[in-house]
Amino acid sequence: MPGTPDIVLPKLKVAIFVHGCFWHRHPRCKKTTTPTTNAKFWQDKFDQNKLRDRRKVALLKKQGWKVLVIWECETVNQERLKDRMETFLRLEQ
């Protein structure tokens, strides 16, 4: 599978990624810091990660998969996470 999703529900054709906010650059998240040392290296690395993420999601969708991205910081509030996943799965059936 493109992107190696963290959770796969084959019968529903659902792929779920749990992205680390730092590595995958969660917009407006306090965990999305950028090291000041070797900044060019880090910016290139982050840009490549984001591009790879977009490509993998696009490939999965092209293959008929429904894709959900859950951010690391969203896992803290388990009730909200549960509601979000239930809503996604309900909408995708």
Alpha-carbon distance values, 36 to 7, 40, 48 (Å) = 34, 9, 18
d(CA 15, CA 57): 9
- Where in the chain are the domains? 7-91
Residues 69-92 pLDDT 10s: 999 999 999 999 999 999 999 886
Neighbours of 65 (CB within 10 A): 21
Question: Residue 93: is its pLDDT beyond 70?
Answer: no
The predicted pLDDT at position 84 comes to 95
The predicted pLDDT at position 85 comes to 94
CATH code at 7-91: 3.40.960.10
Query: Are 56 and 24 in contact, with CB atoms under 8 Å apart?
Result: no
Alpha-carbon distance values, 25 to 1, 16, 50, 79 (Å) = 22, 17, 7, 24
